[in-house]
Structure 1
Amino acid sequence: MWQRIVSSEGGRSALMISPPFLYALLLLAFPLAAIFLFSFWTQDFMTVDTTFTLDNYREIATQPIYGTLLKRSLYVSACVTAVTVLLAFPVAYYVSFHVRPERKSLWLFLITIPFWTSYLIRVFLWKVILGFNGVINTGLINIGLIEEPLTFILYNVNAVIITLAHAFAPFAILPIFVALEKIDRSLLEAAQDLGENRVMTFFRVTLPLAMPGVVAAVLIVFIPTIGDYVTPELMGGAGGKLIANMIQTQFLALNNAPLGAALAIVAMVCVSAIALVFVLLNRRWLRGRS
């Protein structure tokens, strides 16, 4: 039996994919299934009632605070994604088209340097930069542009967006760079030979061919930012908390894991729906241009 499995092509393929499949099943599927199951239970302090109920979802639908936090989370994620991708594209474009091939690896090395430091350290550094007596306020006061420190750049949604955009910048630059590297340069030369200027060549040739990288960057940034709770906790203040902070509060502070699980499921469904719509719209747009 074992020799028959090993000798067949299908058996060898099954043996090759079985370790990563089991790994994904144990570390992804089972935890998600447990969270989904928990969302239909209730908890009274340390006692978990496993009776099937929709009370958690009813509470989410009826209590305005959950809808407010979810809308704020989607808004912050959308802003972070837009800012990050718009700033990442010029960097990736410059490295791909204007940096000599032997120096591209150095530039990529410099782009990934932020990964060398802890995420918490980077957040605290932005806290120092944006603080009441931080680098920005001190510098603006010293050069005479302002008389009092700016208060709208810390402990609000703006600080969360700035910090997350910086933290996820490398995740946007790298996929866009890979997509730009795959573009055949002869296509750009052909477009210019046919009378297109540089701007129209970019919009009609370069950008459409780079869209897979842009889509990947959008999804890579948008999906994890909506689940980030460290940055809103440290930088957002009372008005910058997101849905992830409420999930963390339900699980740890309020000891209400079922409601936290239901909030997590609702957030995942919203993110999945938005990501799917974005991918479908992008695919239709690419078909329309082809």
Structure 2
Amino acid sequence: MSPTLLVMSIGILAPFLILVTMSLWTRDGFSFDTALTMANYERAWTEPIFGALLKRSFWISGIATVVTVALCYPMAYYVAFHVHRNKMMWIILMTLPFWTSYLLRVFAWKVILGYEGVINSGLMVVGLIEEPLEFLLYSREAVIITLAHAWAAFAILPLYVSLEKIDKSLLEAATDLGDGPVARFLRVTLPLSLPGIIAAAFLIFIPTTGDYITPALLGGPDGAMIGNFIQLQFGPVNNWPMGATLSIVLMLWVSAIALVFLFITRLAKDKIA
């Protein structure tokens, strides 16, 4: 394991340590003052704009996570329990649209939600609206819809694996004891598939919180997230220390939310058991 651990250490720990060190610097004109200070962290804690962007990012990412898991669970459930042949083919077909570029899929949603896009054109053709809906694009809703679609493949796979591992004899035993379909699902299937739900939620929530491509292309002023502000610090603003600080703060907040979520989930699981 030594070669693998060495590569992982260089590839993960080294950039993280560089980021932490850089977050303790400050910008001095067009260069950086390398004297270690906590000024950037104080600014990140006190200035309201950073807190507002973090709250908005967590809200958008949280809603996108819930929507994605809720939409992907029935598909994974159907393949796991109702498809008896060529299951791998079903998995491939469900994930096939996600083999294309992430950026292309974002641009596709920009066309679909646009002022003269598919949705507005279709609604006008059937006579439900007289003029295009302006709120579909450049809004939080557009960001949530696009994120939910773009990361769906990362939810389907862990959900399917978790559901596929459930012992079918447990469902038969629940039926023999008088449980109907709803009770059987709530008492057996849902609790046993909880690890897959947690894994899918983490795989979506963590990366979407720091996403900046989708908000930049579809979000507009109301849909901007913390990732866009971090990208500006490393780009046009040229304030790398502040960008590094915000990256560290975001990682700490995401880690704290994940730990709280795991704790609550464990309590709920023990209560169900």
Query: Do the structures match in fold with TM over 0.5?
Result: yes
C-alpha displacement at 1:148, in angstroms?
Answer: 1.1
Answer yes or no: is 1:114 the counterpart of 2:93.
no
Match of 1:127 among 110, 127, 136: 110
- Greater alpha carbon shift after TM alignment, 223-232 vs 62-71: 62-71
Number of equivalences: 273
State the 4+ residue runs in structure 1 displaced beyond 2 angstroms. Answer: none
| Counterpart contact for 1:131–1:137, Cα < 8 Å | yes
Equivalents in 2 of 1:276, 1:249: separation in Å? 29
The answer for the alignment partner of 2:23 in structure 1 is 39
Equivalents in 2 of 1:68, 1:270: separation in Å? 14
The answer for the alignment partner of 1:67 in structure 2 is 51
Equivalents in 2 of 1:171, 1:222: separation in Å? 11
Equivalents in 1 of 2:13, 2:156: separation in Å? 30
The answer for the alignment partner of 1:208 in structure 2 is 191
For residues 233-278 of structure 1, the C-alpha deviation after alignment (integer angstroms, 9 at most, x for no partner) is 0010122110000000001111000000110011111100001111
The answer for the alignment partner of 1:7 in structure 2 is none
The answer for the alignment partner of 1:257 in structure 2 is 240
C-alpha displacement at 1:147, in angstroms?
Answer: 0.7
**Which of these two proteins has the greater Rg computed from alpha carbons?**
1
- Greater alpha carbon shift after TM alignment, 40-49 vs 129-138: 40-49
Answer yes or no: is 1:85 the counterpart of 2:90.
no
The answer for the alignment partner of 1:4 in structure 2 is none
Identify if the C-alpha distance between structure 1 residues 45 and 111 changes in structure 2 by more than 3 Å, giving closer, same or farther.
farther
Answer yes or no: is 1:154 the counterpart of 2:137.
yes
The answer for the alignment partner of 1:243 in structure 2 is 226
Equivalents in 2 of 1:147, 1:261: separation in Å? 48
Unpaired segments of 5 or more residues in structure 2? Answer: none
Answer yes or no: is 1:232 the counterpart of 2:215.
yes
Paired letter, 1:174:
L
Unpaired segments of 5 or more residues in structure 1? Answer: 1-16
Answer yes or no: is 1:173 the counterpart of 2:153.
no
Match of 1:138 among 121, 132, 146: 121
Paired letter, 1:269:
L
C-alpha displacement at 1:152, in angstroms?
Answer: 1.2
Paired letter, 2:52:
T
The answer for the alignment partner of 1:188 in structure 2 is 171
Aligned to 1:253, the other structure's residue is in SS state coil
C-alpha displacement at 1:46, in angstroms?
Answer: 3.3
Equivalents in 2 of 1:148, 1:287: separation in Å? 53
| Counterpart contact for 1:192–1:201, Cα < 8 Å | yes
Answer yes or no: is 1:56 the counterpart of 2:51.
no
C-alpha displacement at 1:114, in angstroms?
Answer: 2.3
Aligned to 2:235, the other structure's residue is in SS state helix
The answer for the alignment partner of 1:11 in structure 2 is none
C-alpha displacement at 1:44, in angstroms?
Answer: 2.1
C-alpha displacement at 1:48, in angstroms?
Answer: 1.4
Aligned to 1:113, the other structure's residue is in SS state helix
Equivalents in 2 of 1:66, 1:279: separation in Å? 26
Equivalents in 1 of 2:263, 2:100: separation in Å? 36
For residues 6-60 of structure 1, the C-alpha deviation after alignment (integer angstroms, 9 at most, x for no partner) is xxxxxxxxxxx11221111111111111111111110224321111111111211
**How many percent identity over aligned positions?**
55
Equivalents in 1 of 2:254, 2:66: separation in Å? 16
C-alpha displacement at 1:62, in angstroms?
Answer: 2.1
**TM-score, normalising length: structure 1:** 0.92
The answer for the alignment partner of 1:278 in structure 2 is 261
Equivalents in 1 of 2:228, 2:166: separation in Å? 41
The CA RMSD measured in Å over matched residues stands at 0.9
Equivalents in 2 of 1:126, 1:282: separation in Å? 34
Equivalents in 1 of 2:132, 2:204: separation in Å? 31
Aligned to 2:128, the other structure's residue is in SS state coil
